[in-house]
Amino acid sequence: MNWAHVHIAINHVPVIGIIFGFLLLLYAMMKKNEELKRISLVIFVIIALIAIPVYFTGGSAEEIVEHLPGVAESIIGQHKESAFSTFVMVEVLGLLTLGGLFLYRRPQNLSNWFVILSLILSILVGGLMVRTANLGGQIRHTEIRSESTRTDMEMKNGTLSKEQRKKEN
Q: Which residue has the higher pLDDT, 105 or 91?
A: 91
Q: Please, which pLDDT band fits residue 81 given cuts at 50, 70 and 90?
A: very high
Q: Are 7 and 61 spatial neighbours (Cβ–Cβ below 8 Å)?
A: yes
Domain boundaries 3-168, corresponding CATH code: 1.20.120
Predicted local distance difference test score (pLDDT) of residue 140: 80
Average pLDDT across the chain, whole number: 87
Amino acid at 79: H
Predicted local distance difference test score (pLDDT) of residue 66: 87
How far, in Å, CA of 99 to CA of 109, rounded? Answer: 15
In the chain, the percentage of residues whose pLDDT exceeds 70 is: 84
pLDDT digit string, tens, across residues 28-45:
999 999 999 999 999 999
* pLDDT, mean of residues 79-84: 97
Whole-model pTM? 0.82
Query: CA–CA distance from 67 to each of 24, 48, 80, 140, 146 (Å)?
Result: 41, 30, 16, 11, 21
> How many CB atoms are located within 10 Å of the residue 22 CB?
20
Spatial CB neighbours of 7, under 8 Å, sequence gap ≥ 6 = 54, 57, 58, 60, 61
Distance of CA 66 to the CA centre of its chain: 21
Predicted local distance difference test score (pLDDT) of residue 128: 98
* pLDDT, mean of residues 64-92: 93
pLDDT digit string, tens, across residues 100-127:
999 888 767 889 999 999 999 999 999 9
How would DSSP label each residue in 90-106?
Answer: HHHHHHHHHHHHHHT-S
